[in-house]
Structure formats: structure tokens, C-alpha cells
Structure 1
């Protein structure tokens, strides 16, 4: 097996890796500090399309993690880049919040329910039956169906919440049209993130807490993959998958000396 080159770029998931239910994972502050002090590039990736990078940076800072907004890359950002490449200055009917609508406005998209090119489904805490019905009718009329991520549920202090993937399944059931998911595990999201910092797959590591999104996404993008056991996937579950991470550690605290 060819020996990999030293890691020069770090990509990391956020929920389950750096924060857990809104609280920093022990050692995450030291890990982020070491990243910022090093000469290595890094991006924090999240499938959450609700917040802008600036919003997320403020939320992380409140928990003691000092991350610049430029180091955060969301599924909303990946979705905007995908649409800008596919159909520049197009139009979309959007179900989502500021994290998604801001990115689409910035690439020159018109947000409309009048004969849009796309229906774009993102995350929101207030999914509306009226909006979902409108989305179904627009997809039936020929609008292309895009979703920011396939996650079926999201975390909250009260328990699981229906997320983008679950609502997308509802629209698919009603229309027979499958969405194109841009966020993880689509490796396109990581390629967009790497392009933003001029990173290269052969010298990049991806840290995640989920085998079915973070690790498979990193593997398919040709990255060195690291599973942390501070989130969703536990050690005894790893062998159930037909692929393995390059490394398994308890948390990002165990990676500080590798930066």
C-alpha cells in the first residue's frame, strides 16, 4: 500500500465531533486552538443549513470554541455552489432559513414560487404544510428537486426532530420524484470545501462521528478518514459497515498531537 503524504488540511464535522447537544466535547477547545495556531488549513463542515457561517461562529464562540466564520462550510453553501454551476442565476422555491436563502441570494438566484427552475429543500424548525404542498405541486409541474442533506432527524434538547431527509421523503412519496442531495454523504460537499481552501485530497483528513455520512463521504473523496466515538457511531457498530475509517479515536482530544 502506498504511504500517504503528511496531513496538511483538516476537515471536520461539527455536531458529535466538536459539540454535542450544544455543549463543546471535552478537548475540542484545545483541538481548535492547535488548528488555528498551526500553518494548516481547516474547514468545519455541517449539514445544518439553518444558520449562516457567521451565526454558527457566534454559537461556537459562546461555547468556548473560537472558530472564524471563514472556516465554516455548510450544506447550504455547497447547494448554492452546485446550483450556480448547474444553472447560473436561476430561480428556486425555497423551504429553509437564512443559512440557505442568504447563500442563494449571494449567487444571484431569484427566490420565487412562480415557475421556478428548482424546488430547494433545507432545514427549518418550522416546516409548513402549506409550503410542503406548494413544493409538491411545483415538482409535479416540472421543477427540479434539490435537498441540502439526507438527514432524517435532527437533535434537540427534547429529543429527535424531523429533518430535511424526512420531509424530502414526504415530497418524494407524493410526487414520485427523488431529490438530489448535495450535503454529506455526497463527496461533492467535501470537494467544494477543499476547493475553497486550495486543499488536496491526498493530504487531507476528514474527522466525523458517523460512518454513514462523514466517513463514507471522506472515503469516496479520497481522504484520510478519522472516526471519533463522541457522537453517533460507536465502536461496536463499525464492523457492520463494508468500509472502515483510516483511524478510530475516542475524541478530537486524541488528535491534538497529530496536527
Structure 2
């Protein structure tokens, strides 16, 4: 395991697969967050999930016994709303998504237009239909900008994997012929949003996550440090395969969250 880089002052922490699986906390998640808080080390929860608001994400963590408040949560939906407000000021959008995305757009003061929008913004939508696909493809092909909250092809659920926002996006891309601007990991846009929230430089921040394709790639793309924890997608068995396929060697590799806690808090607590 690599030694903690002295320049790391804060941490961007993935959620599903890193701190929990579905509704079950991963061993040591509560201790990690409690110790970061006690040591006064800044951190944010950074998630590609666009279906929940920050308050709902915090409540989900609290229900599992992980200390959390909404001010510590950065979602791809909130980052997408800010991106649209900054890149296309005054634009009206046609949203395809759930409460987390709709609330983020509302809080950003972005108006809806389901007929002739400037932007189509899409996240996970578990009520997605052929009609929605047709409308989205036509609006984008006619010139509307296409913004995607996150490219995840699959989502874990209690009953197994289910299609994610990226799967819906694959259909829209095929039908419209247009590639979206991707906000969530592995894109650097969500990471920049979170780093700006911390008020730090990218080299002062490290990403903690379980997924080489999203978390570690996002950290590298954003110029951050990377701490891989083998609690989710990446395991001891498939680690070499992921290193070979991504070309990424994380700065630190931890078997569990107690190793992460020792790495980031050990010299302080």
C-alpha cells in the first residue's frame, strides 16, 4: 500500500460499492467517516446517482449508520444543473429523469420546455418509454444540446443489476446521432464541481472509490490522487485485469475501509 501523499488535504468519496452495497453498510464505513470528521479532514460524498437529492442521499447513509448531511453530498444531477446554468445561461431544458434531477434543476432556477428546449438533460429514468425516446431524439437531432448526468450502464439493486442512465443514453445516441456532454464519473466535470466546493486545488484532493473505470479514471482525469478500495467492483481477483484495461495504477490500494482509515487518518488520530 502506498504512503499517504503529503499534499492530500481532502477526499472525494464514492458511495455505492465503497461505503455500502444497496442498503447494507460496508464494514468500517461508519468509522472512516467519523474519524475524518473528528480529525477535521474535509471530505465530500461524490455520486453518479442522479435519482436522489443530496438530502435523500444523506438520509440513506444515516439509515445505515454512516454519519452524513446534505452539505457533504455532490450528485451528478446537481453538477449537471450547475453546468447547464453556466454554459447555457437562460436556457430552457427538457429533463428526462427522476426527483434528484428535477429538484436540482428547480433549485438552479432552470425552466422546463418540453416542446422546443435549448437543452435535453438526461439521467436515470425508471419510467422511460418509447415515446420519451422519440421526443428526446427528435429534439436533439433538431439542435438541442444533450447533457447526460452519468454514463453508468448498470445499477445495483436488491434483486440484481438493472439498466442505468448510460443504457438509456445509448438508445438516445443511436436514435439522434449525437454524443452527450457527460457530467458524472469518469468525466472531470463532476470532479471539478466537487473540488470547487472544497476550495482546493486538484492536486490537494484524493478520490476514494471501488471502481477503476469510473472512480479512479475520474480522479486521474481531474488530476487528483487516487485510493482504490477493494470492496466493490474491483477485487483482488480482477485488479490486474482492470489495471491493464484502464492503464491506471492507483496511488494507493486498500483491501478494506479500515486500511483506508489508517492511510488517511492514521497520522492524525
TM range (shorter): over 0.9
Name the CA distance, whole Å, in 1 between partners of 2:100 and 2:174.
Answer: 27
Q: Is the 8 A contact 1:4 1:202 kept in 2?
A: no
Task: Please give the secondary structure, in 1, of the residue aligned with 2:43.
Answer: strand
Task: Output the aligned Cα RMSD.
Answer: 1.4
8 Å contact from structure 1 (residues 18, 24) kept in 2 = yes
In structure 2, the residue matched to 1:92 is 93
* 1:112-191 → structure 2 map (5 Å cutoff): 112-191=113-192
Matches within 5 A, 1:195-210: 195-210=196-211
How do residues 37-76 of structure 1 correspond to structure 2 at under 5 angstroms? 37-76=38-77
Aligned 8 A contact 1:90 1:108 in 2? no
Stretches of structure 1 that go unaligned for 5 or more consecutive residues are none
Q: Aligned residue for 2:17?
A: 16
Aligned residue for 1:50, secondary structure, equals coil
Per-residue CA deviation, residues 214-253 of structure 1 (Å, 9 max, x unaligned), is: 0011012121101111000123433323121001111222
On the 8 A contact 1:50/1:97 being kept in 2, the answer is yes
CA contact (8 A) 2:120 2:140 kept: yes
10-19 or 195-204, larger mean C-alpha shift: 195-204
Aligned to 2:256: 251
Q: What is the TM-score of this pair, normalised by structure 2? A: 0.92
Q: Matches of 1:160 and 1:87 in 2, distance apart?
A: 35
Deviations 1:47-85 (A, max 9, x none): 000000001111111110111110010001111111111
Secondary structure class of the residue paired with 1:126: coil
CA distance in 2, matches of 1:185, 1:4: 22
Cα distance in 1 between the residues matched to 2:7 and 2:35: 17
1:106 paired residue number: 107
Deviation at 1:6, TM superposition (A): 3.8
- Count of aligned pairs: 257
Secondary structure of 1:199's counterpart equals: coil
CA distance in 2, matches of 1:76, 1:230: 25
Residue 235 of structure 2 corresponds to residue 216 of structure 1: no
Q: Is the 2:229–2:260 Cα contact (8 Å) retained in structure 1?
A: no
Over 6 Å off, 4+ runs = none
Which residue of 1 is the match for residue 234 of structure 2? 233
Judge conservation of contact 1:187–1:217 (CA < 8 Å) in 2. Answer: yes
> Does the CA contact (< 8 Å) of 1:115 and 1:138 recur in 2?
yes
The answer on whether the counterparts of 1:206 and 1:223 sit within 8 Å (CA) in structure 2 is: yes
Cα distance between partner residues in 2 of 1:49 and 1:144 = 19
Q: Give per-residue Cα distances to partners, 1:67-125, cap 9 Å, x unaligned.
A: 11100100011111111110113111101111111111122211121210011111122
Task: Give the 3 Å change call, closer, same or farther, for CA 202–5 of structure 1 in structure 2.
Answer: farther
Gaps of 5+ in 2: none
TM-score calculated relative to the size of structure 1? 0.95
